Amino acid sequence: MTLRATIKPPPLAGSDADALARAIHGDPFSVLGPHQTPGGLVIRALLPGARSVDVLRRQDRTVIGRLEESDPPGLFQGVVSDRTPYLLRIGWPDAVQETEDPYAFDVVLGDLDLHLFSEGRHFELAEALGANVLTIDGVRGVRFAVWAPNASRVAVVGDFNAWDARRHAMRLRHSAGMWELFVPRVQPGARYKYDIIGAGGIRVPLKADPVAQQSEPPPATASVVSAPQRFRWHDDAWMAARAARQAPDAPMSVYEVHLASWMHHAHDGSAATMWDVAIDRLIPYLADMGFTHIELLPITEHPFGGSWGYQPLGLFAPTARYGAPEGFARFVDALHQAGIGIILDWVPAHFPTDPHGLARFDGTALYEHLDPREGFHHDWNTYIYNFGRREVQGFLIASALHWLERFHVDGLRVDAVASMLYRDYSRPADAWVPNVYGGRENLEAVGFLQHLNAVVRERCPGAVMIAEESTAWPGVTQPTSEHGLGFAYKWNMGWMHDTLRYIEHDPVHRAYHHDDMTFGLIYAYSEKFILPLSHDEVVHGKGSLLAKMPGDRWQKFANLRAYFGFMWSHPGKKLLFMGGEIAQEREWNHDTELDWFLLDDPAHAGVQRLVRDLNRVYREQPALHARDTEPAGFRWMVGDDRANSVFAYQRFGADGSAPVLVVCNMTPVPRQRYRIGVARAGAWREIVNTDSQFYGGSNVGNDGAVYTVETPSHGEPQSLELTLPPLATIMLRGEN
């Protein structure tokens, strides 16, 4: 050591020294770490603030060299006595640190990783990019990797380097525009960001990691090194059977939830997170109410809570508001063990402009379009993803797979699909760019959605992709092999708007709006539909579902119960936003929990009891779900009785299962001896009556059952004479 220590290494070129000092050096591996010179092996380390640096042989911790501080301040260099894996013993003003040298490691991303990423086909992206804890050459640490092809220099800054941009500049892998660095001994839980200098030498704001698997709780914005997943799943039986549970012939009743406002987490000093509270309270509630699925508003990390998650920046990270990622995994596992599926709202259409996020990530329009006519949503003040860029497509598809594969999520509901499909979406004539054929269709977005759905279908058997698509775009749920978009289901926004418009009218006027209730059956089989009464209908001044209902208090509740009966008996899967089942009176507020105290009122408790029973009957009666997508599963019996505002239809299952007759009387006038033809002679048992006293109704009905008479009606050789309760839906099952 003594001999080598007397040999001074060659001085660093002035330009290199200046670039290191100013944290703008774009090729740190060319000057830092070990370098063979005519005078021996020189090691350089940039450690601003350090007092001393010794080099130790890693094997036996023998000192093999001392690095002396030179210009610029904080740059230590010296010649070592042998070429061997080494440690740096760093003397700081108040501590001594021993660690491996990040610049002593070779490239840490494989060529295949880079190739697949450039092709937009690296579907395990979170295992390559972001911050991954791993062991290299026997050394435990974190591999950081980030895509920034137009940057001239990138460094990772964080708790482990005092957020000093000089300390951990990264290596550029030119073929893919990827920057990488292995930082030894960094532990899970460390916070970090990227310091990026764009083309032209302009430093952009510190950026959170686009592929971070964990973030710190907002309003803080740093990414967090996530612990490697060690979760042990217990849902093999669910995963094996879920394809059948989510098939078009299965009953799907979805409870849509904004977790933070479903029920507030009482902080009692325990370590319980929101996920733990959801396991203890929400899952038993779902099971008791009979919902088959829960759908969570986006839990991808998002900076502004008032966006409810619909302006996300962390597409690989469950929001830290609710706890750590493993807490979410426990929640999903517990749901599956309770026989309940989980759907996540997922937003690949756009992202917010927050400076720490994806916006102008490397100083250029990287994830978004440069032209605001293509790349900016004026409605939401957000950027639009550049779906024509392969790397961006791959990034988004990898995000979807991350939730479906790592967390066993059963489906993704893709938000704002209409905004993706049309280049002129919510734009005046002079504010959009036509496609290559001069049309308004966003061909790149169409290609992305088809690619996404094809990959999910191949890799995630049984998972479902659901489109929130508010226009009449053809083939949303058609297979991609038939030139469709390839979704499993589509939200039926038209049905929701039409029927809510009808039910909001005073019954005396409903005769003039009869078609609002029947129109949905004209196109009910053009797609595989979910009937949504979502959060969008109870915010922004729209009031609650109960508040939409006309009439006095009794009529409001009766209207809501009748409407729920119509919805649960109509072709299509069901979705209800939280609070609807207890007839919440006020509009939803994301800052406060639901008004659970309302259940002390029999009228509210009655609506909850009805929804519970509707879910049970819906599951138990094949006629109400087994042929949802087949015209033969539905037959109008009375669709034109405008004067009385009565609707009647039969639902049919397969294999001779019992048919169900549904009759809706949408006026407050009871109707006696109302004749309706039915497909089967004999007894018809009343299985639902929304006017039952158990639900808060007047208890008008048919004494539990009614028998056919040999009087032909509505094309059938037999018929029923029914008592129709006021403002009510009844369901009767034909007995064998």
List pLDDT tens digits, range 624-679.
999 999 999 999 999 999 999 999 999 999 888 899 999 999 999 999 999 999 98
Task: Assess whether pLDDT exceeds 80 at residue 25.
Answer: yes
Residue tagged active-site, from 368, 374, 410, 468: 468
Residue 306: exposure state from Cβ atoms within 10 A (0-12, 13-18, ≥19): exposed
Share of the chain above pLDDT 70, in %: 98
Q: What are phi and psi of 26, to 5 degrees?
A: -90, -5
* pLDDT in the model for residue 270: 58
Establish whether 468 is a catalytic residue: yes
- Compute the Cα dihedral for 692, 693, 698, 702 and give only its sign: positive
Average confidence (pLDDT) over 11-38: 91
Specify the pairing of strand 573-577 against strand 253-257.
parallel
Q: Return d(Cα 42, Cα 32) in angstroms, integer.
A: 9
Q: Return d(Cα 166, Cα 24) in angstroms, integer.
A: 8
* pLDDT in the model for residue 81: 85
Contact between 556 and 507 (Cβ < 8 Å): no
For residue 187, count other CB atoms closer than 10 A to its CB.
13
* pLDDT in the model for residue 3: 40
Task: Assess whether pLDDT exceeds 60 at residue 2.
Answer: no
CA-derived radius of gyration, the chain: 31
User: Which residues of 416-545 form beta strands (DSSP E)?
Assistant: 464-467, 489-491, 529-533
- Compute the Cα dihedral for 579, 584, 590, 592 and give only its sign: negative
Average confidence (pLDDT) over 205-229: 96
Specify the pairing of strand 40-46 against strand 464-467.
unpaired
SS3 528: coil
Average confidence (pLDDT) over 85-107: 95
What count of residues does the chain have? 736
* pLDDT in the model for residue 82: 86
Beta bridge partners of 671: 724
| Chain-centre distance for alpha carbon 458 | 20
| Of 71, 101, 70, 106, nearest in space to 86 by CA | 101
Across 65-79, 446-460, 518-532, 552-566, least confident range: 65-79
User: Which residues of 652-727 form beta strands (DSSP E)?
Assistant: 660-665, 671-678, 683-689, 705-707, 718-724
| pLDDT tens-digit readout, 276-335 | 999 999 999 999 999 999 999 999 999 999 999 999 999 999 999 999 999 999 999 999
Residues 83-93 as b/e (b if ≥16 CB within 10 A, e otherwise) read eeebbbbbeee
Confidence of residue 268 (pLDDT cuts 50, 70, 90): low
Residue 593: exposure state from Cβ atoms within 10 A (0-12, 13-18, ≥19): middle
| Of 76, 2, 84, nearest in space to 46 by CA | 76
| Of 603, 606, 611, nearest in space to 575 by CA | 611
HEC assignment per residue over 211-261? CCCCECCCCCCCEECCCCCCCCCCCHHHHHHHHHHCCCCCCCEEEEECHHH
Average confidence (pLDDT) over 197-201: 90
Confidence of residue 9 (pLDDT cuts 50, 70, 90): confident
Average confidence (pLDDT) over 686-698: 97
Contact between 270 and 262 (Cβ < 8 Å): no
All structural domains of the chain, each given as residue ranges with its CATH number in brackets, are 2-104 (2.60.40.10), 111-224 (2.60.40.10), 236-262+271-491 (3.20.20.80), 631-734 (2.60.40.1180)
Residue 340: exposure state from Cβ atoms within 10 A (0-12, 13-18, ≥19): buried
* Sequence-separated (6 or more) residues with CB below 8 Å from residue 164: 48, 157
**Angle, nearest 10°, between helix axes 390-401 and 443-459?**
40
Specify the pairing of strand 376-377 against strand 382-384.
antiparallel
Task: Assess whether pLDDT exceeds 50 at residue 486.
Answer: yes
Q: Strand 660-665's sheet: what is its strand order?
A: 634-641, 646-651, 660-665, 728-734, 683-689, 705-707
Contact between 77 and 62 (Cβ < 8 Å): no
For residue 241, count other CB atoms closer than 10 A to its CB.
13
- Which strand (E) or helix (H) includes residue 65? strand 63-70
SS3 140: strand
Contact between 97 and 90 (Cβ < 8 Å): yes
Across 38-47, 524-533, 608-617, least confident range: 38-47
Q: What are phi and psi of 148, to 5 degrees?
A: -155, 70
* pLDDT in the model for residue 14: 81
Q: Return d(Cα 18, Cα 24) in angstroms, integer.
A: 9
- What value, to the nearest 5°, has the Cα angle with vertex 241 and ends 568 and 343? 55
Residue type, 687: I
Residue tagged active-site, from 180, 415, 516, 686: 415
Confidence of residue 266 (pLDDT cuts 50, 70, 90): low
Q: Return d(Cα 113, Cα 123) in angstroms, integer.
A: 10
* pLDDT in the model for residue 267: 59
- Which strand (E) or helix (H) includes residue 54? strand 52-57
* pLDDT in the model for residue 5: 46
Q: Is 58 left (phi over 0), alpha (psi -120 to 50) or beta?
A: alpha
Residues 708-736 as b/e (b if ≥16 CB within 10 A, e otherwise) read beeeebbebebbbbbbbbbbbbbbbbbee
| Of 577, 581, 578, 617, nearest in space to 491 by CA | 577
Average confidence (pLDDT) over 686-696: 97
- Written as one string, the DSSP assignment of 287-336 is HHHT-SEEEESP-EE-S-GGGTTSS-SEEEEE-TTS--HHHHHHHHHHHH
Establish whether 415 is a catalytic residue: yes
Residue 146, CA atoms < 13 Å, CB-side half-sphere: 31
3-state helix, strand, coil in the chain (%, to 5): 30, 30, 45
How high does pLDDT run on average in the chain?
95
* pLDDT in the model for residue 264: 81
| Pair of tokens at residue 248 | 């078009």
